[in-house]
Structure 1
Amino acid sequence: MTRLEILSPKIDFVFKRIFGNENNPRILISFLNAVIKPKDPIQTVQIMNTDIDKESIEDKFSRLDIKARTDKDELINIEIQIKDEHNMVKRSLYYWSKMFEGQLTEGQRYDKLAKTICINILNFKCLKSKEAHSIYRLKEINTNEELTDLQEIHFIELPKLPKDEEIKDVFDAWMEFIENPISNKLEKAEMSIQEIKEAKNELLRLSANDKERIKYEDRRAALLDKVSALENAEEKGIEIGKEIGKKEGEKNKAIEVAKNLVSAGIDINIIIESTGVEKSEIERLL
């Protein structure tokens, strides 16, 4: 019997199928309470974008994020990214601002604006902090006084998570589920955290469903194409940079030679011919 290949929760299609499942919001509620750690735990959520169309799966530039509203009217956006596009901070600020601004229609009062939270799960290192989970709000830089809690942006950098430590709490359990859903450590957590067990069961169901697997492979292929394109662009940029640096080095060396020839009183035309330095450059050395 062929062993079932488990789909990766790091692929946004799978992540959204599990955490954006309106038929089992308990999974998302548990995840949000573990990440945000609110003083008053979230009791209910309304998942606002449950659909995943074919175009989104095949388009490597589409976003399969999760938008939700809590019982306290907080707006939440969750996104998982597998490749560093070197724009994550600005990207997150942009999407946060769009969600925050989008709450009001013309004529509505500002006091209607609700807390808006962005959660970014990254399969790469992004920030200078050594912590795997960083939380940002608006604060005064000298006194650290918080201006407001209406803005909150989370970055969870998966490569910074401790690898060999035991699962201590629900947050650790969810991170282990995303990183390695079939690990022995997670099996222990399933015994005490019902939502982890439910998420695992949903993942197994997706993995065994041929139609869902085809969608998964389409989405994974689209994301890998994007990663490949980014890596090729980075390599080309490095090559161009090296070539420019090489030419700059050669030019600087030629100018230094021309400078020595000028000091020796050599005719300017001979210097131009022998070094390739332009006449205007040599005249500046005179």
Structure 2
Amino acid sequence: MERRLLNPKIDFVFKKIFGSEKHPGVLISFLNAVLKPKNNITDVEIKNTDIDKSYIEDKFSRLDVKAVTSKNEIINIEIQLKNEYNMIQRSLYYWSKLYEEQLEEGDRYDKLCRTVCINILDFKYLKNDRFHNGYRLKEIETNEELTDLEEIHFIEIPKLKKINSEKDIVDVLEGWVEFLRDPESEVVRKLEMTNKEIREAKDELYRLSMDEKERALYFIREKSIRDEISALANAEEKGMEKGIKKGERNKAIEIAKSLLDVLDIETISIKTGLSIKEIEDIAVMKK
């Protein structure tokens, strides 16, 4: 029986494909597609190639890709499957850590290099229809750029519009996002014929999918991520329940206030569900 390909959006697989020293061309192609530099990146040094088993089993760990480009840019790529509603704050925090960690005591500030964070999201997050957004520091009124030392990108996979497989030309970034969305799509199959990096990424995905050891690690990581998503969903549900209960209580208090002049405390307690002590306290506060 033919095995299905592993999901390249699972960070374990993403890191194996885009963060491997065995095929740096994949990462270089992806970075050039995202950053669109005037002069293409020609080389990368991948920093965190190891994947410790403890990280795979930890549902709150981050298996991101870190690299330094031929232009001495520091790049961090993170892929997220679940909306935690904090991606902007989180990305700014990680960016600031990467920027700050470049300096040792006594170093000059001019040693600091351009630092870029790329967030790949499997959910819609920003309030626009573009699947790719890049941000830098700019003047509020004139839009004049202060510096390109800080750059943060968001790639929202669900916002990529359906690509016609008969289309002659597909933007390289669209091709990479389509690969993450559906590596077996007709679009990706067509791109494999003309784009050697996408073909290389597909070959590596196929290799991982056929390797028993890699599949075992993949399923451990997939379970960890499912556990994290489940924990976040439960937290959201409890938060909503708490919010509803708080809203119902506030409504009961307002009703109690309006009835104090026409009904006795015992009757108000029955009608609102508040205790007699609570209504007595409301009566004191109203005075």
Match of residue 239, structure 2, among 208, 218, 237: 237
| Residue aligning to 1:177 | 179
Cα deviation for residue 258 of structure 1 reads: 1.3
Instruction: Tell me how far apart the structure 2 counterparts of residues 204 and 66 of structure 1 sit (CA, whole Å).
Output: 20
Amino acid at match of 1:110: Y
1:220 counterpart (208, 219, 222): 222
Match of 1:252 in 2: 254
Identity, % of aligned pairs?
Answer: 56
Spell out the pairing of 1:11-160 with structure 2 (5 A cutoff): 11-160=10-159
The letter of the residue matching 1:169 is D
Mapped to 2, the partners of 1:278 and 1:20 lie a distance apart of: 62
**Contact persistence 1:115–1:149 (CA under 8 A):** yes
Q: Which residue number corresponds to residue 206 of structure 2?
A: 204
For 2:80 and 2:216, the matched residues in 1 are separated by 20
Counterpart AA for 1:59: D
Q: Alpha-carbon deviations, 1:31-79, whole Å to 9, x = none?
A: 1001110001000000000000100100011110000001110000000
In structure 2, which of residues 224, 246, 266 is the aligned counterpart of residue 273 of structure 1?
A: 266
How far apart, CA to CA, are the structure 2 residues paired with 1:170 and 1:114? 26
Cα deviation, residue 272, structure 1: 2.2
CA distance in 2, matches of 1:46, 1:181: 26
223-232 or 239-248, which deviates more: 239-248
* Mapped partners of 2:67, 2:261: distance in 1: 68
| 1:272 partner amino acid | I
Q: SS where residue 278 of structure 1 aligns?
A: helix
SS at match of 2:261: helix
The size of the alignment, in residue pairs, is 276
Matched with 2:273 is none
Residue-by-residue CA offset, 1:155-199 (whole Å, 9 max, x unaligned): 001111102444621111101110000111111111110000010
Distance in 1, matches of 2:30 and 2:253, equals: 58
Cα offset for 1:23? 1.1
Q: Which amino acid aligns with 1:244?
A: K
TM-score after normalising by structure 1: 0.93
Q: Which amino acid aligns with 1:55?
A: S
2:4 alignment counterpart: 5
Contact 1:13 1:57 in 2 (8 A): yes
Check conservation: 2:46, 2:65, Cα contact below 8 A. Answer: yes
Q: How far, CA to CA, are the matches of 1:279 and 1:251 in structure 2?
A: 11
- Give 3-state SS (helix, strand or coil) of 1:181's partner: coil
Unpaired runs of 5+ residues, structure 1, are 262-270
Find the aligned partners of 2:219 and 2:176 in 1 and give their Cα distance.
24
Contact 1:259 1:285 in 2 (8 A): no
The 8 Å contact of residues 57 and 218 in structure 1, kept in 2 or not, is answered as yes
Name the CA distance, whole Å, in 1 between partners of 2:67 and 2:285.
Answer: 65
Amino acid at match of 2:200: E
Q: Whose radius of gyration is greater, 1 or 2?
A: 1
Return 5+ residue gaps in structure 2 as ranges.
Answer: 270-277
CA distance in 2, matches of 1:8, 1:283: 62
Does structure 2 retain, via aligned residues, the 8 Å contact 1:259–1:282?
no
Q: Which of the residues 189, 192, 214 maps onto 1:190? A: 192
Conserved? CA contact 2:74–2:115, under 8 Å: yes
The CA RMSD measured in Å over matched residues stands at 1.3
Distance 1:254 1:115, change over 3 A: same
Using the TM superposition, give the Cα deviation of residue 284 of structure 1 relative to its aligned residue in structure 2, in angstroms.
5.2
| 1:226 shift after superposition | 0.3
Conserved in 1, the CA contact under 8 Å of 2:259 and 2:268? yes
Q: CA deviation at 1:280?
A: 4.5
C-alpha distance in 1 between matches for 2:18 and 2:231:
29
